[in-house]
């Protein structure tokens, strides 16, 4: 044995809205990181879970309803669990989180995980929700029937997590002791004709292909597995799979209906006697709220009001913070300008670095407020209702409600919005959503909107609510234009049937303050790190083009030295209340600054392109400003 013990790996998998992210955060704490696997754009999270004296590496796989990969994120989950993901070892144990109030449906995914032959621990979450609905579960009996440990937990209250950690550690230790003699994977009672067809197809494709993927190849019509096999083995796979499906259809074993029939039949048999339900379904307060929030009239009006409040808050609430940041930056620049001698270093520090950093930090309050609202709406469960309300509009454009979530994410940034399209199974719909997502007004345009609105629509002559209304209208343009462009694409280049939209409505809950703050801080830091570095670099480039050449000669000092001397004279005139002389001196300073800009490299470039921009009504100054805006 080596000097360093191999670190154990636990993969966390579950349906969306089962509290998977909450459980991952509770188990890993602050020791987590976000990354991508090589060659994959699907975002995954990793962390470390303390199990007594041993540390287990925890992988948070993308949320999925089944291991029937129909999108890239679901394929990543399958590849990781099979040990086929590049750069990732196969997990030693899988933590399958299930919703106690929807046990049968959640166990569908668990049965697929059990078929992989890897140790499984079932985390029975939301036991408080099940109790509120008068649902009682015999955990010990369910564990015996499933053949794996079942641990009741309440992730949001961190109840049962110590027992879960202990159970995971025991599963890892047992797996290491009996790795070569472990029990075979779960085998569900599929019809004999189906099993024979799978074995025959596997022999034709090659015995090195896992049997699980061969099953998925047959069962998932048009799924991601089929696309991968077509890429790797060619078109011959298509004809072979079609022959198998036709044979099963004739034998009374239609695909894919046979899988749902077999799995749910087995789940009903296993859970019989383990679950006690009330005679009548309990009407929860979530149901009562949904009668209003999902109403086609009232729900839509509330959605518009919520969006208006978000944009109003972005503009109104952030204004004092922005003013404070701007004043602080200006005070620092003035202080340093009076202390440092004029020259390239001083000018670079003040007009390049500090102005560049200030341009980024100035808009940080809006970014934080925007992501705070997104985190709150997602965590409380309202975002799914927004997608449901938008489904009919999306369907008329040839898309589904799943396209609304990436488009809404594009309000923050088009890049994560485009990445979020991975949950859309249909290739045409995914491509159409990718093409229209950049039409939404992302946060990068927010500073421009704020600058224009603050310049033209603020003051005593305008009501206080007008800036927020105009901001809302600017964003509404994208919300209206994007579906129209999607409709054009779906009727021309990307023709296809409108997909069926299936979405689970999560329970309403109070947003986690810790989760909201973490989302704000992570998003704010990402904005500063990504946008800040680019803006700072571009500001330094623009500064250099405006600063050089400095001018001057044997008898004439450089422009910045002359301006600094004249600025000192101006300050003395103002202190002595010589207003007329101060006004003349200020005009001289502005004229010298204009001459410097005209003689700079950027000014010369503006002069060079002036004949091209003259038809637009621009002069060399506006042309120079347009050139300076390209790095942004």
H/E element holding 98?
strand 93-99
Counting residues of the chain whose pLDDT is more than 90, the rounded percentage is 10
Contact status, residue 221 vs residue 256, Cβ threshold 8 Å? yes
Higher model confidence: residue 60 or residue 235?
Answer: 60
Task: Please identify which residue in the block is written with the tokens 């990732």.
Answer: 88
What pLDDT was estimated at residue 33?
Answer: 52
Residue 58 pLDDT > 70, yes or no? yes
What pLDDT was estimated at residue 39?
Answer: 40
**Three-class HEC string of 148-195:** CCEEECEHHHCECHHHHHHHHHHHHHHHHHCHHHCCCCCCCCCCHHHH
What pLDDT was estimated at residue 40?
Answer: 41
Confidence of residue 160 (pLDDT cuts 50, 70, 90): very high
Residues in the chain, overall count = 632
What's the CA gap between 17 and 502, in Å, rounded?
14
Average pLDDT, the chain: 81
Entry pTM: 0.66
Residue 333 pLDDT > 70, yes or no? yes
- What average pLDDT does range 433-458 have in this prediction? 81
Token pair in block for residue 498: 């409108």
For the chain, how big is the Rg over CA atoms in Å? 31
What's the CA gap between 376 and 364, in Å, rounded?
18
What's the CA gap between 626 and 326, in Å, rounded?
24
- What average pLDDT does range 596-600 have in this prediction? 88
Confidence of residue 1 (pLDDT cuts 50, 70, 90): very low
Q: What are phi and psi of 124, to 5 degrees?
A: -85, 95
pLDDT tens per residue across span 372-427: 887 888 788 887 788 788 777 777 777 766 777 677 767 766 765 676 676 676 67
Token pair in block for residue 356: 């560049």
What pLDDT was estimated at residue 31?
Answer: 55
Confidence of residue 38 (pLDDT cuts 50, 70, 90): very low
What pLDDT was estimated at residue 150?
Answer: 94
Confidence of residue 3 (pLDDT cuts 50, 70, 90): very low
Closest CA to 128 of 154, 156, 99: 154
What pLDDT was estimated at residue 141?
Answer: 93
In order of 66, 448, 497, the CA distances from 500 in angstroms are 17, 38, 9
What pLDDT was estimated at residue 35?
Answer: 45
- What average pLDDT does range 461-475 have in this prediction? 83
416 contacts: CB under 8 Å, gap ≥ 6: 409, 410
- What average pLDDT does range 236-257 have in this prediction? 85
598 contacts: CB under 8 Å, gap ≥ 6: 607, 620
Query: Is the preceding omega at residue 549 within 30 degrees of 0, hence cis?
Result: yes
Of the candidate ranges 102-111, 238-247, 548-557, 568-577, the one whose mean pLDDT is the lowest:
548-557
63-77, 430-444, 524-538: which is most confident:
430-444
Helix, strand, coil percentages for the chain (3-state, nearest 5): 65, 10, 30
43-47, 53-57, 234-238: which is most confident:
53-57
H/E element holding 482?
helix 466-491
């Amino acid at each position: 044995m080596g000097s360093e013990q191999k670190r154990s790996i636990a993969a966390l998998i579950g349906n969306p809205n089962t509290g998977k992210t909450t459980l991952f955060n509770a188990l890993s704490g602050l020791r987590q990181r976000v990354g991508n696997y090589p060659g994959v754009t699907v975002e995954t999270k990793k962390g470390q879970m303390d199990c007594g004296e041993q540390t287990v590496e925890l992988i948070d796989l993308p949320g999925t309803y089944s291991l029937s990969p129909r999108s890239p994120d679901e394929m990543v989950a399958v590849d990781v669990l099979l040990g086929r993901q590049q750069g990732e070892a196969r997990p030693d144990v899988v933590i399958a989180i299930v919703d106690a109030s929807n046990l049968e449906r959640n166990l569908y995914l668990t049965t697929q995980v059990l078929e992989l032959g890897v140790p499984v621990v079932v985390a029975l979450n939301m036991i408080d929700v099940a109790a509120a609905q008068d649902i009682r579960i015999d955990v010990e009996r369910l564990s015996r029937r499933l053949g794996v440990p079942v641990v009741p937990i309440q992730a949001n209250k961190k109840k049962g997590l110590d027992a879960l950690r202990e159970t995971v550690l025991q599963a890892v230790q047992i797996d290491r002791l009996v790795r070569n003699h472990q029990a075979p994977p779960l085998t569900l009672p599929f019809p004999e004709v189906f099993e024979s067809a799978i074995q025959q197809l596997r022999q034709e494709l090659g015995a090195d292909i896992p049997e699980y993927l061969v099953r998925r190849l047959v069962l998932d019509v048009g799924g991601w597995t089929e696309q991968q096999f077509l890429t790797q083995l060619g078109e011959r796979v298509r004809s072979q799979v079609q022959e198998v499906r036709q044979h099963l259809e004739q034998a009374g074993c239609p695909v894919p209906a046979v899988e749902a029939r077999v799995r749910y039949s087995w789940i009903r048999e296993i859970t019989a006697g383990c679950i006690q339900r009330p005679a009548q379904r309990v009407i929860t307060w979530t149901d009562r709220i949904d009668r209003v929030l999902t109403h086609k009239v009232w729900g839509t009006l509330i959605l518009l009001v919520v969006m208006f409040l978000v944009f109003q808050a972005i503009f109104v609430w952030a204004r004092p913070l922005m003013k404070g940041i701007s004043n602080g930056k200006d005070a620092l620049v003035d202080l340093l300008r009076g202390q440092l001698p004029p020259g390239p270093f001083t000018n670079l520090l003040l007009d390049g670095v500090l102005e560049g950093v200030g341009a980024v930090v100035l808009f940080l309050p809006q970014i934080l407020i925007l992501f705070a609202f997104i985190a709150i709406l997602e965590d409380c469960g309202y975002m799914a209702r927004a997608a449901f309300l938008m489904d009919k509009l999306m369907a008329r454009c040839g898309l589904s409600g799943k396209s609304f979530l990436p488009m809404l994410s594009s309000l923050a940034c088009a890049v994560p919005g485009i990445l979020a399209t991975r949950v859309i199974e249909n290739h045409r719909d995914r491509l159409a959503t990718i093409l229209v997502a950049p039409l939404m007004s992302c946060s990068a345009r927010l500073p421009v909107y704020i600058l224009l609105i603050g310049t033209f629509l603020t003051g005593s002559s305008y009501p206080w609510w007008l800036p927020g209304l105009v901001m809302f209208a600017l964003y509404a343009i994208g919300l209206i234009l994007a579906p129209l462009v999607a409709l054009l694409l779906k009727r021309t280049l990307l023709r296809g049937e409108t997909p069926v939209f299936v979405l689970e409505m999560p329970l309403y809950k109070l947003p986690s303050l810790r989760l909201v703050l973490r989302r704000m801080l992570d998003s704010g830091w990402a904005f500063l790190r990504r946008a800040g570095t680019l803006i700072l670099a571009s500001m330094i480039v623009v500064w250099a083009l405006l600063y050089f050449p400095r001018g001057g000669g044997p008898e004439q000092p450089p422009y910045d030295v002359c301006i600094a001397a004249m600025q000192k004279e101006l300050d003395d005139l103002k202190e002595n209340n010589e207003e007329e002389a101060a006004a003349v001196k200020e005009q001289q300073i502005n004229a010298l600054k204009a001459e410097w800009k005209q003689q700079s490299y950027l000014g010369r470039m503006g002069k060079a392109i002036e004949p091209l921009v003259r038809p637009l009504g621009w002069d060399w100054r506006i042309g120079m400003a347009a050139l300076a805006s390209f790095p942004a």
